[in-house]
């Protein structure tokens, strides 16, 4: 699936925040960001964009896409996401999780403003309230 240049510019102009993250390249740490978005309200990760919003570009291959889908399949519970692209920028679209909380490699993550934060207190008394589907 593709996005337009206008849509990409709109996303970049929003800057990083609670629902948007820029990454210059793929790394295994990407699973933490995806997990945090799923445990929050969902969001987008733009691969090939620097933190200051400059387009650096990445080589988008089937292998790269498979690696990203594999990250989501290895979540507990499994997560479904989608990918969109414009030239050499890949947009990872993460929906708000329906089966919160999500973990990756046995750890839970949340969004805290524009950052991803490790949060292991989900098992403590009352902490699952923030993941209630009614909220």
The list of the chain residues with pLDDT below 50 reads: 123-129, 131-135
5-100, what's its fold?
A: 3.30.950
Q: What is the pLDDT of residue 120?
A: 72
Q: What is the pLDDT of residue 121?
A: 62
Give the residue among 37, 30, 19 at the shortest CA–CA distance from 58. Answer: 30
Tokens of 16: 């990083």
Give residue 14's region: left, alpha or beta (phi > 0; psi -120 to 50): alpha
Q: What is the pLDDT of residue 119?
A: 86
Which residues, including other chains, have CB under 8 Å from residue 9's CB and lie 6 or more apart?
A: none
Secondary structure (3-state) at 47: strand
Give the C-alpha separation, 13 to 10, whole Å: 5
Q: What is the pLDDT of residue 135?
A: 35
- Whole-model pTM above 0.85? yes
**Is the CB of residue 8 less than 8 Å from the CB of residue 86?**
yes
């Amino acid at each position: 699936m593709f996005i337009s240049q206008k849509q990409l510019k709109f996303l970049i102009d929003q800057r990083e925040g609670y629902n948007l993250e820029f990454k210059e390249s793929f790394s295994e740490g990407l699973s933490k960001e995806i997990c945090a978005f799923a445990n929050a309200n969902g969001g987008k990760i733009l691969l090939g964009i620097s933190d200051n919003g400059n387009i650096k570009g990445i080589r988008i291959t089937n292998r790269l896409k498979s690696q990203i889908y594999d990250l989501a399949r290895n979540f507990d519970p499994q997560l479904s996401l989608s990918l969109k692209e414009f030239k050499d920028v890949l947009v990872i679209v993460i929906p708000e999780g329906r089966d919160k909380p999500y973990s990756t490699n046995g750890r839970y993550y949340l969004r805290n403003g524009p950052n991803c934060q490790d949060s292991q207190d989900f098992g403590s008394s009352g902490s699952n309230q923030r993941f209630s589907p009614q909220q």
